[in-house]
Structure 1
Amino acid sequence: MPQARRKTPFSGKAKKQQLQAKKQNKTMLMSNAASSATYDMIAVNYQPGKSRGGRGESNRYALKFYRETEAELKMKKEEALKSLNPVPEKAMEVNPLEYFPADISFPQRPPWDYAMSPAQLDAQEQRYFKEYIDKLQKSEHWKDISYFELNLETWRQLWRVLEMCDILLLIVDVRYAGMMFPPSLYKYIVTEQKKDMIIVLNKIDLVPASVVAAWKEYFTLNWPGIRVVYFTSCPGYNLAGNTSDKAGLQVRRRKGRQRMCAEGATKILEACKDIVQGHVDLHSWEKKIKEETEVEFDYDEQTEIGETILEKSDTTFYKHEKYKNGIVTIGCVGQPNVGKSSLLNAMMGRKVVSVSRTPGHTKHFQTIFLTPQVRLCDCPGLVFPSKVPRSIQILMGSYPIAQLREPYTTIR
């Protein structure tokens, strides 16, 4: 029989500290429950009963959105009974800036200092986030605001990426580029933080070249200092069979063995070279692209790489130092299902992060070294506050279609 573990001395002071911490955590949990009760939310990718053996809550980073009211559902169902009225193509043109009013911003980390304890920082951020939501609910835009992330833990992941990165890589789906670009993020990164920003127009193989060029011109003219690059993780050499069926519809079958997307990776490398101006040696990245262009790697969408489960709220903080230790840190941010994980795998030339067709698959902050001098930070997919119609958000892939309570509006 194994010997029982010998009890270690436990002082009265340590016991007092333990009780105080337990009391503080209980108070914070009660305040969290009270704040979440003020608005009806739904966790769209919640996994019941999946606690990973008590090592932490696996649903900590579940996407959270507002639930539609019964009155809203009834109105939309009645609207679905009306006839469809086709409109000319010109009438479908939109101004993306109309979807992001100047007085709607994303949650930004409240001021902190190293003297604050994790519990104090957590309480401050909980309070700030509740005040942010309350302020948004009282604004004139509230009735028009669409689905946006309500999980503070996910926003904390964004805060960490924005603090650590030297260059922010904003990935957008080129089919909805204007609706996925929040001007408030550009203002925060470029104007306030004095950092550089690159927009990656992803999935360019799905639209005509003229559309890609038009979006590049739009961003370049309207947002000074921003760099725009093209990318696709499905170039022709990574697809199998014909690209269209007998009816002329586009068919895209991905090969089981993939090659690095050297063209897109090279474009991102060139943009980073232009930014760092020789302060970081990027020759290893350039060499990696040349060496691994013809190397193939297994691609399986069902493969799970793993998931980081945290036992406590992620309240860590990071004081930014530009190009610290000769390393450039590139933060990857974008909405759910925009293709961030596929882009990282394509840049790496091998499978390093798990991918899925389900929005919100990446649930935690991930750090990957592309080369010893280049570090990538992958943030979970985030839906920023905006006035983009909810039906368009569903078509964009920001909201899981399986969670729809009313599909008629999206079909129309």
Structure 2
Amino acid sequence: MPPRSKISSSLGKAIIRKRFEGKRRPTERDTELHTTDMDDGPSWTKLQSITQQGDLEEFLHTAELAGTEFTAERMNVKIISANQTSNPYLLTADEEAQALQKHRDHSDMLRVPRRPEWDETTTAGELHRAERDAFMSWRRDLAMLQEEKGLLLTPFERNLEVWRQLWRVLERSHLVVQIVDARNPMLFRSRDLTEYVAEIDERKRSLLLINKADMLSDSQREAWAEYFEAQGIAYLFFSAKESNAKLEEERERDAAERLAQELKQESIAEDVDLDGLTSLDDFKARKQKQDKEAADAAAAAAFEASVRAVALTQAELRTRVLTPAELVSILMRECPKIADEHSHNKLMIGLVGYPNVGKSSTINALVGSKKVNVGAMPGKTKHFQTIHLTEDVVLCDCPGLVFPTFATTQADMVCNGVLPIDQLREFTGPSALVTRRIPKWALEAIYGIEIRTRPAEEGGDGIPTAEELLTSYAAARGMFKGGEGNPDEARAARVLLKDYVSGKLIYCHPPPTWPTGKDFNQDHYSPHAVSRRTRHLVESATADGSSEFTVRHAASDRVNVQKAIATSGSVRVDALDARFFSTGAALQSAQRKAGTHQVKQGRGYAQIQVGVAARSQIGADGQARGIGAVEAARMAAQEQMAASGKKHHKKKRPGKQRSGQGVHDDMF
């Protein structure tokens, strides 16, 4: 009898009895009723960003917005959900061109939800109901766009409360600044948002702030400038990362200077008001507070002075990556002064953008101190907030909001940072897209690995596949699956895709008017440019005075790495096939190594007999002749000893004798 389980089930049974106390237990024929919940829930859940929903969640959410009460019988409902997140295929060049043209033809249909009209006579309940109806109609139009036109949309914000935050920011702001990623500005720009700002008030203006402009070369910024000027788009280039790095260096330098001055002072008592002090700790705390207030006041005065001193011409602004003082000066110049009840005779500048485009980092660079929380996960800012930048300028920060836009594939959305990488299930598509965009030699130089690709005679085109890249990287970094010992391609894909999104692997999309077939990223992947970013690309001088570059594969030259690559995936299958068909005696070798196991059941024990498969030898006439099983076993033992190089045999250890049942019959 098996031992009784130590886990008691009395608690679970008690909960079940309590649940159905006074009621009949449900049977298989009973139906379970599902109803919508009209309560919005606690306040901390209202602003949770919702960009992706399953079919059932989207249906229930739409019914809740519509205020529809319904009941559904579980036995009569069948839900069919298509997995939209797993798409391992990529579009060909022709298919991608057709998809982009289709996006341009239907770009007018991508709209931002409008806030319904209201006045002093509108009650809160009426406005709430009207907002729900308008938002539901907007979502219905996007669903029809996907179903009828067959277009692929990126995940967009489905929480009405987040859009309410945007409406408040647009109503308060005089200048609305859209912050976009410089690597793909048109993906993150909402053209309809500019039109919506003009609908609210014709005096309001919009501007495009291209953040992360340090990733663009001079020629790339020139190409984008020409495109924006032709389209009539007001734009500015900025790099929050570089600005924050310079700001941190200045802080460290100022802190070192203050420390040096304090060490030189013999006494600081005369600088501090001693009234009310009770201990030496109070004295030090008051001194530090006074020093901090004085330093902040001096920094604010210096910043405002630098803002007033900016005098840049339009030609200088064309491709210049602005500093924080220069950016504030230009924003003050572009912002119209509109007198209303919210502004208090100050310039209100609203900041809007996708999550992870650097909106919070931009505010930190402008303010000069960490006033806004910055996080790697999208949606860090939950409510709009106002930040006083100078005496005349107030920044209005909106939560990171995902606008609906077109996409070609799921892999493209992953590489653009729209879909979270940690929740990725299908990684071959995005990884293959990285190998298409980044040259093979550049990947090898950046990571110090060797990527083995198929030769041309076997159908290879010189571009690594996703499996070839991930296998090489995982083996070189020691990423192996537990139990199998094969390279962990999924883990390697997450690391590589995060490097791509963060900018370690730079790829910038060209403007829509860029000539087809012309490389837009040639400045990033010239040998001189790559050698400045990695130590694996070594530059050496030749005899004629020119430079020669050599890629070092230090991470892939180890024996265990080469062995892991050779025995994994399709490479392993190819190696086995080549080894099997390389010799005419391959079939004979396979037969010699084969074994047949037969198990016979006894009384309390099992008898295992190993029989060697029939073998054959090639006679003088060229025909195969069979040999006996005993001779085959002797030959197999001799080959094993010769291969191992051992000249002796280990003595067999005596087995333990047990009494009772389960002993061998031949022991008596």
TM-score, length-scaled by structure 1:
0.63
1:162-181 alignment runs, 5 A limit: 162-181=170-189
Distance 2:354 2:162 in 1: 12
Letter in 1 for 2:211: N
Determine which structure has more spread, i.e. the larger CA radius of gyration. 2
SS of equivalent to 2:43:
coil
Distance 2:415 2:53 in 1: 18
Which 10-residue stretch deviates more, 109-118 or 334-343? 109-118
> Post-superposition shift, 1:171?
0.5
The answer for the alignment partner of 1:222 in structure 2 is 231
SS of equivalent to 1:178:
helix
1:203-282 alignment runs, 5 A limit: 203-223=212-232, 226-235=233-242, 238=245, 263-276=322-335
> Post-superposition shift, 1:136?
2.1
Show structure 2 runs of 5+ residues with no match: 1-35, 56-80, 254-298, 307-321, 433-668
| CA separation of 1:275 and 1:149: change in aligned 2, threshold 3 A | same
1:59-74 alignment runs, 5 A limit: 59-67=45-53, 71-73=82-84
Distance 1:92 1:215 in 2: 23
CA contact (8 A) 1:157 1:364 kept: yes
2:342 is the alignment partner of 1:335: no
The answer for the alignment partner of 1:113 in structure 2 is 119
Distance 1:128 1:120 in 2: 12
Distance 1:334 1:72 in 2: 28
2:367 is the alignment partner of 1:348: yes
Letter in 2 for 1:196: R
CA contact (8 A) 1:100 1:182 kept: no
Letter in 1 for 2:207: I
Task: Provide Cα deviations, 1:18-49, integer angstroms capped at 9, x if missing partner.
Answer: xxxxxxxxxxx84578xxxxxxxxxxxxxxxx
| CA separation of 1:32 and 1:57: change in aligned 2, threshold 3 A | closer
> Post-superposition shift, 1:128?
1.6
2:421 is the alignment partner of 1:410: no
The answer for the alignment partner of 2:190 in structure 1 is 182
Letter in 1 for 2:180: V
The answer for the alignment partner of 1:325 in structure 2 is 344
Ranked by relative contact order (alpha carbons within 8 Å, sequence separation 6 or more), the top structure is 1
> Post-superposition shift, 1:233?
1.8
The answer for the alignment partner of 2:136 in structure 1 is 130
> Post-superposition shift, 1:266?
3.0
| CA separation of 1:94 and 1:138: change in aligned 2, threshold 3 A | closer
SS of equivalent to 1:163:
helix
| CA separation of 1:218 and 1:265: change in aligned 2, threshold 3 A | same
The answer for the alignment partner of 1:144 in structure 2 is 152
TM-score, length-scaled by structure 2:
0.40
Kindly report the root-mean-square deviation, in angstroms, between the aligned alpha carbons of the 2 structures.
Answer: 3.7
SS of equivalent to 2:83:
helix
Letter in 1 for 2:189: F
Task: Provide Cα deviations, 1:30-75, integer angstroms capped at 9, x if missing partner.
Answer: 4578xxxxxxxxxxxxxxxxx9xxxx53332222123467533597
Report the identity percentage.
31
> Between Structure 1 and Structure 2, which shows a larger proportion of helix residues?
2
Which 10-residue stretch deviates more, 349-358 or 187-196? 187-196
| CA separation of 1:182 and 1:128: change in aligned 2, threshold 3 A | same
Letter in 2 for 1:198: L
How many residue pairs end up in the alignment?
A: 302
> Post-superposition shift, 1:117?
2.3
Letter in 2 for 1:72: N
The answer for the alignment partner of 1:199 in structure 2 is 208
Among residues 392, 396, 399, which one is paired with 2:419 in the alignment? 399
Distance 2:250 2:106 in 1: 40
> Post-superposition shift, 1:400?
2.3
Show structure 1 runs of 5+ residues with no match: 1-28, 34-50, 241-253, 281-319
Distance 1:237 1:30 in 2: 46
Letter in 2 for 1:363: K
Task: Provide Cα deviations, 1:192-234, integer angstroms capped at 9, x if missing partner.
Answer: 63211121110112221222232233222203xx421111122
> Post-superposition shift, 1:340?
0.5
CA contact (8 A) 2:360 2:374 kept: yes
CA contact (8 A) 2:154 2:404 kept: yes
